[in-house]
Structure 1
Amino acid sequence: MTTSHTPVDHDPVQTVRTLQRFEFIRNRPPVSADRALVFITASGQTLSYLPNQQPTRGELVSKNFRALYEVETAYRHLTLEHRLPSKGDAFFFHAETDVTWRVLRPDLVVERGIRDVRTLLEPKLLALMRQQTRLFHIEQSAAAEAAVQDALTLAQPCEPDGIEVTCAVRLSLDQKAIEQYAALRGVSYAKEYAETEHSLDLLRLQQQQRLTEDRSRFYATMLEGDDIDRWALHLASNPQDIPLALEGIRDDQREAAANQVAIVERMLDAGVLEDHMMEDAARVAVSSLKSRLADAAAGRTRKKPLYREKNDAAALEMGGSDPEQQQ
Structure 2
Amino acid sequence: MAETYNPILSTENLGRRGLLQRPPILEPGVALVCSGNGKPLLTLLQGQKTLTWGEACWGYNKLYRVDMTEHPLDFQCDVPCKGDAFKFHAEITFRCSVRDPEVIVNRNVTDVAQWIKSSVEEMMRIISRKYDVKESGNAEIEMRGTVNKAIYESGFNLSNFTLKLSLQQEVADWIRSQTRIQEEIQLEKSKQYLIIEKTQFEIEQEEKKAELEQKRIERQQELENKLRLKKLQAKLQHQELEQRLAQQQADFELKIMEQKTKFYSSMLQSGNLQLLALQLAQNPEDVRAILQALNQQKQIEREHNIKILRTLLDADVVEGWQLTEVGKRALQELIGVNEMPQPVLQDSEATSSERQEDSSVAAEVSLDSQSNISSEPIWEDNEE
In the other structure, the counterpart of 2:31 is 36
Larger gyration radius, structure 1 or structure 2: 2
Of 87, 102, 105, the residue aligned with 1:92 is: 87
TM, length-normalised to structure 1: 0.51
Identity of aligned residues (%): 22
Q: What one-letter code is carried by the residue in structure 1 that aligns with 2:177?
A: A
- Report 1:1-327 matches (<5 A): 9-19=4-14, 21-23=16-18, 25-41=20-36, 46-61=41-56, 63-153=58-148, 155-157=149-151, 159=153, 161-165=154-158, 167-191=161-185
Measured at CA, do residues 197 and 65 of structure 1 come closer, stay the same or move farther in structure 2, by a change above 3 Å? closer
Contact 2:4/2:113 (CA < 8 Å) preserved in 1? no
Report the Cα offset of residue 67 of structure 1: 2.9
Runs of at least 5 residues in structure 1 that lack an aligned partner in the other structure: 1-7, 204-327
Alignment RMSD (CA, Å): 3.6
Contact 2:5/2:111 (CA < 8 Å) preserved in 1? yes
In the other structure, the counterpart of 1:263 is none
Runs of at least 5 residues in structure 2 that lack an aligned partner in the other structure: 199-384
Of stretches 85-94 and 105-114 in structure 1, the one that deviates more from structure 2 is: 105-114
Measured at CA, do residues 174 and 59 of structure 1 come closer, stay the same or move farther in structure 2, by a change above 3 Å? farther
Measured at CA, do residues 147 and 162 of structure 1 come closer, stay the same or move farther in structure 2, by a change above 3 Å? closer
2:108 aligned counterpart, secondary structure = coil
1:46 aligned counterpart, secondary structure = strand
CA deviation string 1:99-135 (max 9, x = no partner): 3322222223222212112222212111211111111
Q: What one-letter code is carried by the residue in structure 2 that aligns with 1:151?
A: T
Aligned residues: 200
Contact 2:75/2:93 (CA < 8 Å) preserved in 1? yes
CA distance in 2, matches of 1:183, 1:164: 42
Q: What one-letter code is carried by the residue in structure 1 that aligns with 2:143?
A: V
Q: What one-letter code is carried by the residue in structure 2 that aligns with 1:163?
A: F
CA distance in 1, matches of 2:172, 2:54: 63
Task: Please identify which structure carries the higher helix content.
Answer: 2
1:156 aligned counterpart, secondary structure = helix
CA distance in 2, matches of 1:80, 1:125: 11
Measured at CA, do residues 199 and 132 of structure 1 come closer, stay the same or move farther in structure 2, by a change above 3 Å? closer
In the other structure, the counterpart of 1:260 is none
Contact 1:38/1:49 (CA < 8 Å) preserved in 2? yes
Q: What one-letter code is carried by the residue in structure 1 that aligns with 2:82?
A: K
Contact 1:80/1:98 (CA < 8 Å) preserved in 2? yes
Q: What one-letter code is carried by the residue in structure 2 that aligns with 1:184?
A: Q
Of stretches 81-90 and 94-103 in structure 1, the one that deviates more from structure 2 is: 94-103
2:61 aligned counterpart, secondary structure = strand
